[in-house]
Structure 1
Amino acid sequence: MVLESIAVRNYRNLDGLEIAFNSGLNFIVGENNIGKTNFLDLLETVFNKNRFDASDFADISKPIEICLQFLPDELEKEKYANLLSSDGKINIKCTYERGEKQFAYSIDRSDSHGKQDNKTEIIKLLRDFNYLRYDPLRIPADELNFYKNRGVGRFLRYLVSQLISKRDVKLETNSLNGVLKELKENLQNLKPFREFGLEIDIQKDMESQILRLLTLKDENDFDIENAGYGVQFSTLIVLSILENLIDSASVVKQESDDSPSPLKPVSILLGIDEPEVHLHPYMQRNLMRYLQRIIENRDQGFITLIKKLFNIERLNGQAIVVTHSPSILLDDYRTIIRFYKDEQGNTKAVSGKQIVLDEKSRKHLWKKFAYIRETLFSRFVIVVEGDTEIGAITEWAKEVPAYNYDMRNENNQFLDVFRSMDEEDLERYGISVISADGKGSVKPICELLSKFKIKCLGIVDKDNSSNSKSNEENLYVTFFKDFETELVESLFNKNREEKLKNVIMAAAQEINLIMRVPESELLGKKRNPCESHDASEEKNYTIQDISEFEDVDDRKTGYIKILQKNKTVTFGKLLGELLDADEIPDVYRNIILEAKRASISTQKKLREKINESR
């Protein structure tokens, strides 16, 4: 069974939230204090408890209503036939009035045929769905041992019990008799031991003896409680699934006894809060891919184990992962659920599953998604064509204050926060810059981000087009052919040619740059393809040579060629650092200014809505 969607009414700050889920992994992203962890709390209450607390009500005069839509498999359709709607789905409404002792349940059917709602059957479905909540505040050392029947220790204990019950296991303790005798004699010198008849003895229960002997060790032969937190928490998450299956196993066994098929699937929904807390990026992705294989029944080792231990054929698995880490996201936008604030300040969600893009756009995005991931955590995104632009814009942004111009005379306390910034870097505004690695990907990336309710501006090179304006509302076009031409023309127009030369020479002192341009490239000379050509005989011009050309257009071409031969983020950053604020090309100044103002405006409106609601 899969949870397809949920609708929330009157719960904390999630009133009006509606989410459609992917059938496998789902990653919930969004800013802090927007309600992501609240959502996992909600699922915990609905599936594993029977009432909300008074603090859970957004409006205490109204009930909390949670509408869940499930898609059962064929076996589950038979099992819950009385709950099915005409489309083969199960729609459950959970209502809780303040002061009541438990939920009121109902089934929403498009075609009821006189069916009556069976509360017991609904509760059984919710419990059988097996929602497992994991959060990083758990203490692994309290669970990752065999003798404490707590958390995943319960599974480790279960594992030992199952094996002992099938074998005649004995431990030889006669060799301990001498040690035991001396220990008893030593402790009898203490009054409490004499007064209360206390003495040391050996556990008679074989299972208890074995559980005390066993421990988990890492590859360095350290007990797991002394291993790194990354190892502990990765192990804890996986074992938590198995611990949860212990209770499901007895249900499956009971139902299997009455069924011609000895093995049955089990539904499980994992709710995981910030698993990245103790994991470096590689381990984050590795853990997520492993969990994906588990819930999709593609990990043969896990399948073999649950068949052997629990007589469970497979999992109908699903996971909801709350994260603040781009590294943990997989390369598929359809697995992303983004929480955001609408214009009224309400928390809403966009599900990647529901985003429809044409085939060409999807191909672009799958190729670039590794670079797009971080933008899903931003308020605003600037999409550029290449690497040099990224480096330059991030530095230029520090020189472009959003509060100058028409905002500078406003008496607004909210804007004063931005005025007081030591630096105008983009992170303060929640703005990120991403390279589309080509003109063709700028528009698809902007389209995807817009569908995720992330404001976005793109800038593309004019190339050979005669049109320097875009018909797209959120797309800028350079005035000249490309970034390099834009920069050179801008500096020449401002009589900063000498500054351009000095900036390039200064950058060459910091990093390796190609500083020579062949004569054929520089002057556009064409040679006869029938004639032999020796590249070693061709003249190469240095930046000093270029600066001495009499023709201004030749000098421009020379500088442009040098810039084009050195397209890197590092070179872009150096260009951004070494140029002054008034030397930034207008088109890039404008896009930075618009992005910052839009971010401020959004935050200002949200703050006003929050203040109005108080």
Structure 2
Amino acid sequence: MIEWIHVKNFRSLKNFKMNFEEDITIIVGENDCGKTSILESLKIIFNKQKFEEDDISYGEKEAVIEVKIKDRSYIKQVKYEENGLLLENNCVKLSKETINNIKEELDSNTFKELNEEDQRRRLYELMDHLGINKGNMRRIDSLTNKINEKITELESNSYTSSISRIPNDYNLFFLDGKHFQNLDDHIDELYFNQIRQDIWKRDVNGETVEEIINKHLYNSTSDLERQIVDQGSIEKLKTYLPNITEIKIIPQLTQKLNIGVKVQLLEGTEIIPIEKKGDGTKRRITMALLEIRKEIDEEQLHSYIFDEPDTHLHVKAQLDLLNILWGFVRKKKQVIVTSHSPFILNSFSPKNIRLLTLNDYQTELNAVDTDEDIISTLKSLGINNTNLFFSKKILIVEGHTEEKFIPMVFEKIYGFKLQNILVKIIRGNGIDDASKLARVFRDFEFFEESYIYLLLDNDGNRKLKEFNRNLNIPKENKRELGYKEFEDTFDPLIIYIAWKKHVKLNEDAEVYKKFEKKWFYESIKLIRKACIENDLKFSTKLAEYSSDVCCVRMDKVDLGIALANIVEKDDLNPKIVYILEKLVES
């Protein structure tokens, strides 16, 4: 994965460093604050884009881009000379551990026991890794010596060494506006680019295409060297370079093929004129192909980098895009995306969001630490009402306990948050005007009753029943809990263990010692039995037992948190599990 990027003097990125998440990183900010510049810095490092003269920050003479990926970082230094030329220097910086691992591998019996062809293939891989030009070398001892020379150079230069080019040994897919609006570019980047790269490793009679081309180039340059020498070039050059003894010409194979693709979609024998479709339709077509790419399960590491893929997309299409992004994340692919979409921002944790601002023509990175920060970020971009209507589903629960418990248990079971799938929880006892809220839902353009789920106490409150009557929520979207309330659904043993653990973690030792002497599983069972027989609220009597007898105040919200911290899916009431499963469904 790409771990971080550090940029100096590239456009508005004067001295900018940003870390990337393993799963998804969402870069947001107003126009011209540096979002695209970050992505184009990555393109430059990975040979997808050339460095232009005006990319260097105004008034500066040199720009540096460094990217940390896997066990190394790549550095590109670009210097503007007085004569108007741009001089580029590429470097690789490896860790001491990586170098030691390579040395150990070359000295290992495992490597020595490989046959000659497998040894050569592995040595070529290591040379690519170290940025060494293989040339026409095939002898095992020559290849090994070349690697050892590079290791010595790295060790004497803080594990940093110049390389002729940054290798294309990590799969990155860059998709910007043109890739979403142009089918040819989309297919080329997602599929055909890999074919171009694989050509170089294609086996032809025991040799790769790259080896065959290198052999031909070296044979040709050897002939060229002899021709130049035979023409008396060295003698002529001695006038200016008296100590010259040899002219050496080394070909530099850049592994680039100028081959593109033309994609045609057919209706029978007729070509569908995609270029005449609207931008939104073009993006929906390329998104459908992206959906297919998401399903390809490959062992290689991949990073997908999207530049504002939500542009021109209707609300429903933005939700589809969100599902695609989540699909890549679940496939363990890294995703980096610039976006203004409230759906995308609202569905990920604060840790996944990078907010950029422009201050005195310089890009700055601002912290997004809480869900409230996300809402503030959206509002700063002119997007309001983020809590409710940028949601795919809405779960209405009875009170504070469920409001805390459900999100915690959901994340424990499924490994991601409710907000990640755009589910919003509303607390029923916080609804002041049920009929008014119902009207707001009905007036919303994309509202459907099937989007709303109710998880209620058996003695549910009047306002929620009125809300239900006004909206006519489907029966299968509603579940009522306990003989009276949510707390009734848990086994007394679970409650005993959960609250005991909570008190131990949150109270001092002396308080816990007194509490432990009076907090008993059998007592909780008797309280439950008495409540059922006398039509009493279990949570009320349980709180009285904890505070009056055991001397520790029990808050219903704290009890919900305590339960969520220890329960597993098998401990949950089937009605709760049912609602959770419904929320996960597409």
The two structures have a TM-score, normalised by structure 2, of 0.37
TM-score normalised by length of structure 1:
0.36
Bigger relative contact order (CA 8 A; separation at least 6): 1
